[in-house]
Amino acid sequence: MNKTYVPKVAEIERNWFIVDAEGQTLGRLATKIATILRGKHKPIFSPAVDCGDFVIVINAKKVATTGRRMEQKIYYHHSGYPSGLKEISLADQLEKHPDRVIRSAVKGMLPKNALGRKILKKMKIYPGAEHPHAAQKPEELVVS
């Protein structure tokens, strides 16, 4: 009888990947990032263990969408006070806080528990092409 293999935290090797979001479709980009963050691309994947890699997203401001989503997609948040529901369109959100757009899309594809919150911290998002993670020697990740 074979035993189920569960990777230990010390055995997990974490790599750094860099993704250029310029011209990429938001949902397809988020799916690929979520897969890498969770570690589903590795043969040692276990759903209860964080075995994923780090992801750096550059040019977040230049992400693309299909159809009329820029005007029609609305992000909501509430201040906690009566009549405190705020809304902002995707186009305005990309203008003001482009990192929140990608973070929100990826967050919806991760587990809704403490493990998902831990995994989300391994994603670094930058609106432009510059990032301070050159020392980690990130590999280029092509999203098609």
The pLDDT assigned to 2 comes to 87
User: Which residue shows structure tokens 């806080």?
Assistant: 97
Q: Where are the domains of the chain?
A: 15-140
Give the domain 15-140 fold.
Answer: Ribosomal Protein L13p; Chain: A; (3.90.1180)
Residue 109, judged by CB atoms within 10 A of its CB (0-12, 13-18, 19+), counts as middle
Element (H, E) at 33: helix 26-38
Q: Provide the phi-psi class of 58: left if phi over 0, else alpha when psi is between -120 and 50, else beta.
A: beta
- Are residues 126 and 21 in contact, defined by beta-carbon separation less than 8 angstroms? no
Residue 54 is encoded by which pair of tokens?
Answer: 């780090």
- Cα separation, 33 vs 73, whole angstroms: 21
- Cα separation, 79 vs 86, whole angstroms: 8
Q: Which residues contact 70 (CB under 8 A, 6 or more apart)?
A: 89, 90, 91, 94
Which pLDDT tens digits describe the chain residue by residue (144 residues)? 888 888 998 999 999 999 999 999 999 999 999 999 999 999 999 999 999 999 999 999 999 999 999 999 999 999 999 999 999 999 999 999 999 999 999 999 999 999 999 999 999 999 999 999 999 999 999 987
The pLDDT assigned to 48 comes to 92
Q: Which residues contact 9 (CB under 8 A, 6 or more apart)?
A: 49
The pLDDT assigned to 1 comes to 83
Neighbours of 48 (CB within 10 A): 9
Neighbours of 125 (CB within 10 A): 21
The pLDDT assigned to 42 comes to 94
- Cα separation, 19 vs 11, whole angstroms: 25
